[in-house]
Amino acid sequence: MTHTLPLPDLTHERVEVTTGPRSGLVITVALHSSALGSALGGARLWTYPHWSDAVGDALRLSAAMTLKNAAAGLDAGGGKSVICLPPGTTLDAERRRAAFLDLGDAVERMGGLYRTAEDVGSTTDDMLTVSERTSHVVGLPDLVGGSGEPAGPTSLGVYESLRATLERVTGSADVHGRRITISGLGQVGSRLAVRLAAEGAQLTVTDVNPAKRHLAADLGAEWTEPGTEHLVTADVFVPAGIGGLLDAEVIDALAARAVCGPANNPLAHRSGAERLAARGILYAPDFVVNAGGVIYLDLEAKQLGTRAEIMDRVAGIGDALRALFDDASVQGITPLDAAEQRAAARLRAAAAIPVPA
């Protein structure tokens, strides 16, 4: 009997799947494209039903990073790494350290074509462990002179994107009094919730972790049970958890005027963009909205500007999204199509440049 791997089409330059010799965990490093430069994408530590599901996630996420970095105007390609935790696995400190040392070795074998950073399930301290085995890592802790946690820049980019989205569907970028639903209260979702609450938004929030209820109470936000949040009437629905939330059933029942959030790959299928448009729901492409962190990490690592200048660049995501909405309207296409066109143009231009002998 054979097992059919649930994998997307392979369009990648290089993929390595290995069992970490120290940790015994399956680690995938997926380099999708280095056409624009050394690829940049985080390291995800997550539980998957089967190791092949983790490989498939790495392939999808790395391809999305190519789009994200290209659309953001970065001279960086797309890549991603995933450490697969079997169901029921809990890492103690020793095995966690072993896993990230194993990841460092895998990144080093890419020869500088891929740089890693923190992502869902990993931290800046984990990246410090990775740095013991490779120099191709960014986002080390502030205490050791690194650029630190990128969730702040990511949340800033999402906030500015949310304002641009509100402006498009309501005529004003002001969040005060607007009904906003946030699905996922991780590092980015929680930061966004705190800011929106302070500015007077009417928040509904949820998270798969029931302990996050305390944040809802602290902010005066309504709590709804996971799986019901899309039914709450809202001006903007903010997917801020794991991807794939917006399947056909959820889209058809979605009670929001727009979707704008930091989750990677929130559409279960690409056709979801057209399905949303058919219902008159504006979709802000995820890889544009959530690019603040990677912009910050890439420019900080390359020392391209002061921190204040880099954060100004991150805040500019809102204007970039406005331009995408305009392009989509003029061409009669979805904002997702317009964003993909922007990324593809940069990639085509890079491919046309002769490689020095």
103, 27 Cβ separation under 8 angstroms: yes
Name the residues annotated as catalytic.
Answer: 80
- pLDDT-based confidence at residue 8 (cuts at 50, 70, 90): low
Q: List, in order of start, the domains of the chain with CATH numbers.
A: 14-64+77-144 (3.40.50.10860), 151-291+318-344 (3.40.50.720)
pLDDT at 231 over 50: yes
User: Measured between alpha carbons, how far is 195 from 142 in angstroms, rounded to an integer?
Assistant: 23
- How confident is the model at residue 149, as a pLDDT? 82
| Average pLDDT rounded to a whole number, residues 32-60 | 96
For the four alpha carbons of 292, 298, 75 and 14, in that order, the dihedral sign comes to: negative
Closest CA to 19 of 132, 98, 110, 115: 98
| pLDDT greater than 60 at residue 4 | no
Res 220 pLDDT > 70: yes
**pLDDT per residue as tens digits for the range 149-186:** 888 999 999 999 999 999 999 999 999 999 999 999 99
Reported as a pLDDT band with limits 50, 70 and 90, residue 200 is very high
Q: Residue 36 to residues 15, 229, 310, 349: CA-CA distances in angstroms?
A: 18, 38, 20, 9
Report whether 237 contacts 261 (CB < 8 A).
yes
DSSP type of residue 290? T
Reported as a single tens digit per residue, the pLDDT across 64-112 is 999 999 999 999 999 999 999 999 999 999 999 999 999 999 999 999 9
Q: Supply the pLDDT for residue 7.
A: 61
